[in-house]
Amino acid sequence: MYPDASSDSTWITSQDSLSDSFFNSAADSHLYEDMFHLPHPRSSKHPPMSKENRAAQFSPFAALTGYEAAVTETARHTQDRILLDDNRRALLDARLSFIQEHLSEHPVVSITYFIPDAKKEGGAYVSRMGDIRKIDTYTRHILFHTQEDDALLSIPIDDIIDLEEVSLS
């Protein structure tokens, strides 16, 4: 049962008496006057903490570690893979056959192909300019030398959606 304010003489009944009893520092300040001018105590065993480490104690706590990265990854857009119809596939095969016949001339082409995303479904389409070094019909890959960054890429033929001959060297 709760104490009754009328029966208990120590029961505080008003806000004024509460502030008087707890926050009257003028009456109690003389108790600590001998300590006011003392130097701040320093530990002989522990070095003083740097301001950065002290501030880190009060930094916000990330209760959901990795949540922000997951939200960012979910918001990142990828493109769907385009499935070519039979006519477009036949046109690409004809262009590849022509380039295969003129491979010794190092034909410069513009190629657009699909790169699958490593983390989620879909990917991105990339267009590069360069010369074809080799067409491997067994593994269905093209060995492609880029002009932009002087890289040698192996591109799956099934990922190519566009191939345009720019020139024969």
Please report, for the chain, the start and end positions of each structural domain, with discontinuous segments joined by +: 86-167
Per-residue pLDDT of the chain in tens (169 residues, 90 and over written 9): 455 545 444 444 544 454 455 545 566 667 778 888 888 888 888 888 888 888 887 777 667 778 888 888 888 888 888 899 999 999 999 999 999 998 888 889 999 999 998 888 889 999 999 999 999 989 999 999 998 888 899 999 999 999 988 776 5
Query: Taking a C-beta distance cutoff of 8 angstroms, is the pair 109, 131 a contact?
Result: yes
Structure tokens at 97: 């056959």
Please state the separation of Cα 52 from the chain's center in Å: 25
Q: CA angle 92-84-108, nearest 5°?
A: 30
Task: Round to whole Å and give the CA distance between 26 and 159.
Answer: 83
Tell me the whole-structure pTM to 2 decimals.
Answer: 0.58
Query: Which option is the CATH number for 86-167: 2.60.40.420, 2.30.30.520, 3.90.226.10, 2.30.40.10?
Result: 2.30.30.520
The pLDDT, as a whole number, for residue 9 is: 47
* C-alpha span between 143 and 96 (Å, rounded): 12
